[in-house]
Chain A
Amino acid sequence: MRRVRSFFGGIHPHDAKKRTTGTPIRELPAPDTLVVPLRQHAGLEAKPVVAKGDEVLKGQLLAEAGGAISAPVHSPVSGKVRAIEPRAHESGRSVTAIVIENDHNDTWVETKGHPDPVQLDVKAILKGIKEAGIVGMGGAGFPTAVKLSPPKGTTIDYLLINGCECEPYLTSDDRLMVEHAEEIILGARLMAKVLGARSILVAVEDNKPEALASLRAKAGNIEVVSVPTKYPQGGEKQLIQALTGREVRSNGLPYQVGTVVQNVGTAWAVALALRDGKPLIARVVTVTGAAIGEPQNFMAPLGTTMEYLIEAAGGFAVTPEKVVVGGPMTGGAQFDLQAPVTKTTVGVVAFGEGESRTPDSSPCIKCARCVDVCPANLLPLKLEAFGMNERWDDAHDYGALDCIECGACTYICPAKRPLLQYIRFAKMEIIARDKKPS
């Protein structure tokens, strides 16, 4: 058995996963209109290769990668391009999107799969991943092909497949692991081949016994590791620390310590791309929260609006107080439910009254619970004070830029202080100041 170490700090929030852990993934029929944003990933926007009025097939390229760090997007359905215009986006800003009118014929573009893609050479696998528009599906959206191409001469000891799903409420990765373990393992093998990784570790939090069993049944010689349930266990640097004992240098990247971390959803998408020749046009989305009628895990076409998703999950049982894309710890609150599902939409959480509290804050009593839970080993209460008093040098010195924005400090604070908000503020100011020519 592998010795699983602990990362620094961490919290145990009420996870509310019961609502959907046992709910199988349901194929969500595509709506009449789909809104496909050109930005569904970290990096540059994709560049459209279709025009208004064009007929498109399901899986057809709509926009190509806009640069070295970017990813193409494909049509989730067959139909007609109705518009290319700014539309609501989960980021809160409008983003140019290709609006597709669904003809409901589901006519696929010609696909080229491979019965045993592990036989393909590294170049072909990498090309397949790139062309399928695959990005980190755990939420960060970093283009996978780029992450799989560390500088020449780098030795990768470990490919870590991240199935922790430490965010409360969400079960999309959990269900994917239960129902699609075979694809996840295949995707892991393909990525390991590209990296030349010496070993593959699949990490799953121990609150998902079904997922662990299902992966182990398909894993062969790949090690599936049960890790303690503790948020943010699935944080990239935290997972590396827990599984390998290695620490990524401040401002550094995992490959520098011989590791690459990929989400289970990403592995699944890689398998589909290479085995079936299918680009990334749908993903698992958990729709949950006390305000949702029938919480569900959907296989949702990218471009489906939040509103459509929520309707399909029984609509609102009660008036929602807050709707968040992503999980309750790191997700973004929405004001417009016309924002569509993207490659990084892990879930939609509609909170009922009182479920998502942002209580009034009172003075800090220096209990230092924020210090105890910080996975980056920072002093959040100090950073908050520096942020509030605009002491950017001190904030920088105390490691503001090393904050991973997991929110554990803010979660645990008994005085309900907006710690993370001030730390983000300090980070923005430090970065902006460093950019300014002196």
Chain B
Amino acid sequence: MDDLKLIVAPSPHIRDIDTTEKFMFGVVAALLPVMAASIYFFGWNAVRVLLLGAAGAIATEAIFQRLRKQPIRIGDGSALVTGLLVGLIVPPSLPSIMVVLGSVFAIAIGKQVFGGLGQNPFNPALVGRAILTASFAGAMTTWTKPFDVVTTATPLVVGEAASRVPDLFFGSVAGSLGETSALAIFLGGLYLFYRGYLDYRIPLGVFASVIVISLLTGQDPVFHLLAGSVLFGAVFMATDPVTSPITKPGRWIFGIGIGLFIMLIRIWGSYPEGVTFAILLMNAATPLINRWTRPRIYGQGVKTSE
């Protein structure tokens, strides 16, 4: 026993098996139903957009990590997730160069300039979409019908009368790649919840406030939930851990706030869709929400006799 080499390290000495990588690839797995649905509805265009989105994000991440003389961590899956998300929230007909630009902006401006993984205040994929929307307003609002190359308007522009709920539910409507099929999004969300990667408070908060405000303003709540980016945004964007609150009450506030801004923009704003800016706005409020909702520490504020 004399020449034993023992590791001396502080407790705890055992660790959970879950890792950041598993988390990221869990999100990729949860995106499989929406990716499959997008390919089913939009064919090769979907494959093209998803591949370019992912490749652009991973390459940008690697280049930035290289420039910043950091270890290259593209294997952790976080750039892949951002790239796929960018692909899933743009129109299927978007020119390739714009898809790549969206991914580059998402990683470069949305994430790396703030210090990389975990440091960004805003959801990177949504930063990418916001920049694309501002730069290429035309291309970003040119929608194609599923199984077709004919351009058309989204249900949000056409109005609820023209859309049938079953179409919105299964996804055979015009829209961004991953945002049309409520069923696919629901399956992915269920998987994230099952794996413990999603706090139900955020999506439920979004849904609750969208429904309540729809009812208060005399609009159809089912239409507002199913049309556009609400479901996808609430399940895959708003639940990004990095940019959402760390406290449970904070997550309710965050979700409800997103729903509120979505409806404000949809009803009174000049954009037909408000999910991107609603989430980005609440991302900005996250540090404040964390501060307001600090949990009561065990033993503090307790009255006991001396």
A76 CB-CB contact with B under 8 Å: no
One of A117-125, A264-272, A357-365 at the interface: A357-365
B6 CB contacts on chain A under 8 angstroms: 320-323, 333-335
Q: What residues of B have a CB within 8 angstroms of the CB of A251 in the complex? A: 299
Please provide the chain A residues from 77 to 120 with a CB less than 8 Å away from any CB of chain B in the complex.
92
Q: Given that A362-B76, A376-B297, A377-B297 are contacting pairs, would A333 and B241 also be in contact in the complex, using a CB cutoff of 8 Å?
A: no
**Given contact pairs A333-B13, A363-B117, A322 touches B18 in the complex (Cβ within 8 A):** no
Q: Complex: how many Å from CA A148 to CA B12? A: 31
- B20 CB–A CB distance under 8 Å: yes
B240 to A: closest C-beta gap in Å: 9
A54: Cβ under 8 A from any B Cβ: no
Q: Is A420 an interface residue (CB 8 A)?
A: yes
Residue B191, interface by CB 8 Å: no
- Contact B15 A368, beta carbon cutoff 8 Å: no
Q: Are A414 and B23 in contact (CB under 8 A)?
A: yes
B20 engages A365 (CB within 8 Å):
yes
Q: Are A402 and B118 in contact (CB under 8 A)?
A: no
Contact B247 A371 (CB under 8 A): yes
CB-CB under 8 A from B297, the residues of chain A are 250, 376-378, 399, 402
B116, A414: Cβ atoms under 8 Å?
no
Q: Is A128 engaged at the interface, CB distance under 8 Å to the other chain?
A: no
The reply to whether the CB of B1 lies closer than 8 angstroms to some CB of chain A is yes
Query: Could you tell me if B8 and A328 are in contact, using CB atoms closer than 8 angstroms?
Result: no
Point out the residues of chain B lying under 8 angstroms from A424, CB to CB: 10
- Closest-by-CB residue of A relative to B296 is A377
Given A377-B295, A379-B295, A366:B10 Cβ within 8 A: no
CB-contact partner of B20 in A324, A362, A381, under 8 A: A362
Contacts of A324 in B (CB 8 A): 11, 13
With both beta carbons as reference points, the residue of chain B lying nearest to A235 in the complex is identified as B298
Q: Within 8 Å CB of A250, what residues of B?
A: 297-300, 302
A401 nearest CB neighbor, chain B only: B297
Chain B residues lying within 8 Å of A416, measured Cβ to Cβ, are 15, 19
Q: Is the interface of A mostly helix, strand, loop or mixed?
A: loop
CB distance from B236 to the nearest CB of A (A): 15
**B118 contact from A11, A334, A349, A363, Cβ within 8 A:** A363
Check if B162 is an interface residue, CB within 8 A of chain A.
Answer: no
Interface centre among B16, B20, B23 (most CB of A within 10 A): B16
CA distance A257 to B306 in the complex (A): 9
**Interface size for chain A: under 10, 10 to 19, 20 to 34, or 35 or more residues?**
35 or more
Could you tell me if B242 and A366 are in contact, using CB atoms closer than 8 angstroms? yes
Asked whether, in the complex, the Cβ of B298 is within 8 Å of the Cβ of A377, the reply is yes
Residues in B1-38 with C-beta less than 8 Å from chain A: 1, 4, 6-16, 18-20, 22-23
Bound state CA distance, A242 and B146, in angstroms? 56
Give the CA-CA distance A247 to B297 in the complex, in Å: 11
Residues of A within 8 A of B11 (CB): 324, 326, 328-333, 405, 407, 420
Is B304 in contact with A256, judged by CB distance below 8 angstroms? Answer: yes
- The CA of A398 and the CA of B247, in the complex, are separated in Å by 14
- CB neighbors of A among B284-306 (8 A): 294-300, 302-306
Q: Is the CB of A356 within 8 A of B7?
A: yes
User: For the complex, is B212 an interface residue (Cβ under 8 Å from A)?
Assistant: no
Which of A323, A377, A402, A420 has a CB less than 8 Å from the CB of B12? Answer: A420
In the assembled complex, the Cα of A179 lies from the Cα of B303 at a distance in Å of 41
**B156 at interface, CB cutoff 8 A:** no
- In the complex formed, the residue of A with least CB distance to B306 is A256
Cβ contacts under 8 Å, B219 to chain A = none
User: Contact string, A43-65, partner B, CB cutoff 8 A, digits 1/0?
Assistant: 00000000000000000000000
Residues of A within 8 A of B302 (CB): 247-250
Asked if B74 is an interface residue, CB under 8 A from chain A, the answer is no
Q: Which residues from A are CB-within-8-Å of B294?
A: 379, 398
**CA of A416 to CA of B116 in the docked complex: distance in angstroms?**
17
Q: Which residue of B lies closest to A331 (CB)?
A: B11
- Give the distance to chain B from A51, nearest Cβ to Cβ, in Å: 32
Instruction: Check B299–A365 contact: CB distance below 8 A.
Output: no
**Contact with B7, one of A322, A331, A418 (Cβ below 8 angstroms):** A322
Instruction: Find A249's partner among B1, B16, B119, B299 (CB 8 Å cutoff).
Output: B299
Q: Which parts of B251-306 form the interface with A (CB within 8 Å)?
A: 294-300, 302-306
Interface residues of A (CB under 8 A from B): 8, 11, 13-14, 92, 168, 237, 241, 247-252, 256-257, 307, 310, 316, 319-324, 326, 328-335, 337, 349, 351, 355-359, 362-368, 371, 375-379, 381-382, 398-399, 402, 405, 407, 410-416, 418, 420-421, 424
20 extra interface residue pairs, beta carbon distance < 8 Å, beyond A320-B6, A356-B7, A413-B15: A13-B16, A14-B14, A307-B1, A322-B6, A322-B13, A328-B11, A329-B13, A332-B11, A333-B8, A333-B9, A333-B10, A333-B13, A357-B14, A362-B117, A363-B118, A368-B241, A377-B295, A379-B294, A382-B246, A407-B11
Q: Which 6 residue pairs of A and B lie closest in terms of their CB atoms, listed nearest first?
A: A407-B12, A250-B299, A368-B246, A363-B118, A399-B297, A367-B241
Q: List 16 A-B contacts (CB under 8 A).
A: A247-B302, A250-B300, A329-B11, A332-B11, A335-B6, A337-B1, A356-B13, A362-B73, A365-B78, A365-B118, A365-B242, A366-B246, A371-B295, A377-B297, A414-B16, A418-B10
Q: Give the interface of B toward A (CB within 8 A).
A: 1, 4, 6-16, 18-20, 22-23, 73, 76, 78, 116-119, 241-242, 244, 246-247, 294-300, 302-306
